[in-house]
Amino acid sequence: MSSPYIPLGVLYLVQGFPYGLQSGLLPVLLRSQGLSLSHIGLTRILYLPWLLKFLWSPLVDGTWHRQTWLVVSTGGLCICCALCSVLPLQATFTPLAWLLLVMHILSSMQDVALDAVTVSVLNQDQLGLGNSIQVVAYKLGSVLAGGGALTLLDILGWRAVFLLLSVGYLLAVLCAWWSRMLKEESGRQGNLKNVLSKGRLVDVVSGVFRAPGTVWTVVYVLIYKLGEQGSLSMVPLLLLDQGVSPAELGFWNGIVSLAFSIAGSAVGGVLLRKGRSVHLLLRTLFIFRVSCLVFQTLLLSSLDRDTSIVKACLLLTLVLQNFLAGVITTATFTLMMHCTRQARQRVQASHYSLLSSVEVLGKVVFSAVSGLLVDSLGVSASFSLFIALSCLPLLHLQRLPSTLH
């Protein structure tokens, strides 16, 4: 436990559990019980704590030690999974929704403390590997709690699946408690408090928006995933309506797709290390993504013919979309970091928090309304809209500020 990478990897792994449950397990489960696409899409409102985590960042930074926050938040997540295990599979959605909301609150608090620890304990030479572990571990946690849980649901049952997740959280609690790195981490918890006491919050906000390229980047991170999120949210549910089993969806859309998403994130890092322009890379990726969406829309128009070839091709497009999404996300986060470096040092943390919150906002809001669009407009019209929205980032990149080149 003396290596900083082991506790960081374990804690980032379990941090991905709530996202996997929300995005992988819950939609298929609710659709199997007959809920409409509109209602399933609106469950994305449970992601709200991730948009509001900046509200409790001062609390996490200004009270307790970060190790204490990690133990308390992870322990709370363990208890929530244990409570989920006692709910019957056919229970009403309300108690499960409340438990998932609490899990997102606790996980976002864990994220604030864990990111602060990562920045504090890793030196410059360790940051690259540390960030790679963060992305890969989080996505692996999403795979285990989403596609993995969905695949094992018929084999082990509801209670056993959530008890296994509880055990995972319990191991993470022990890891955080015994970690030498966390015991030695002094916690620079006065930084944010000092900023807020010496300068008014309005001054911090104005300093954030005065950074060159900030407004352009805010718009970009708000729109860059709109069409993609609509497609990735709806295609698995449409395949479920056409007879594809939950276990098959869990394997292809959960495990295989997220594995390719992880691979895409790694490929994005390799491409950027070779000195390629982020701007040119993103333009190429967006063209590929629009082409994939067009092909996917054509396949969906043939879905009623009930051919196994069409269904197999749609599953493969989901895999390709997730790979492209991984590369695009890595390139986008690099662009966001480049923009944050244009801000004054004392507001850089607030600057990056703003960009990351807006990035989550763009994904969550459109995922929430995508089901409503499909129910009201139909599959062809709604997916045509997704294609049009996926062209917006390409147009926005034409106005890239010179400071971000």
**∠ CA(237), CA(359), CA(53), 5° rounding?**
100
Residue 188's pLDDT is 46
Task: Examine the domain organization and report whether 184 and 208 are in the same domain.
Answer: no
Distance (Å, rounded) from C-alpha 38 to C-alpha 382? 13
- Do 122 and 232 lie in a common domain? no
Q: Out of 155, 180, 198, pick the residue that ends a domain.
A: 198
Q: Given this model, what pLDDT does residue 389 score?
A: 92
241 with 284, same domain: the answer is: yes
Same domain membership, residue 286 and residue 405: yes
243 in the same domain as 382: yes
pLDDT (tens digit per residue) in 142-192: 878 877 777 777 788 878 888 999 999 999 999 888 877 776 664 444 444
Instruction: Convert 19-42 to b/e letters by CB count within 10 Å (16 or more is b).
Output: bbbbbbbbbbbbbeeebebbebbb
Examine the domain organization and report whether 154 and 33 are in the same domain.
yes
C-alpha span between 395 and 142 (Å, rounded): 32
- Start-end of H helices in 37-157: 37-42, 48-51, 53-62, 66-85, 93-121, 127-143, 149-156
Domain residue limits at 334: 199-405
> pTM score, two decimals?
0.69
124 φ, ψ (degrees, to nearest 5): -60, -40
For residues 72 and 115, membership in a common domain is answered with yes
Domain count, the chain: 2
Question: Do 128 and 73 belong to one domain?
Answer: yes
pLDDT at 362: 81
d(CA 211, CA 298): 43
223 and 350 assigned to the same domain: yes
Instruction: List the chain residues with pLDDT less than 50.
Output: 1, 124, 127-128, 186-200
Return d(Cα 401, Cα 403) in angstroms, integer: 5
Q: Provide long-range contacts, Cβ within 8 A and 24+ apart, for 209-213.
A: 210/343, 211/339, 211/340, 211/342, 211/343, 211/344, 211/347, 211/351, 212/342, 212/401, 212/403, 213/339, 213/342, 213/401, 213/403, 213/404
**CATH code for the domain of 131:** 1.20.1250.20
Of the residues 138, 170, 198, which one is the last residue of a structural domain? 198
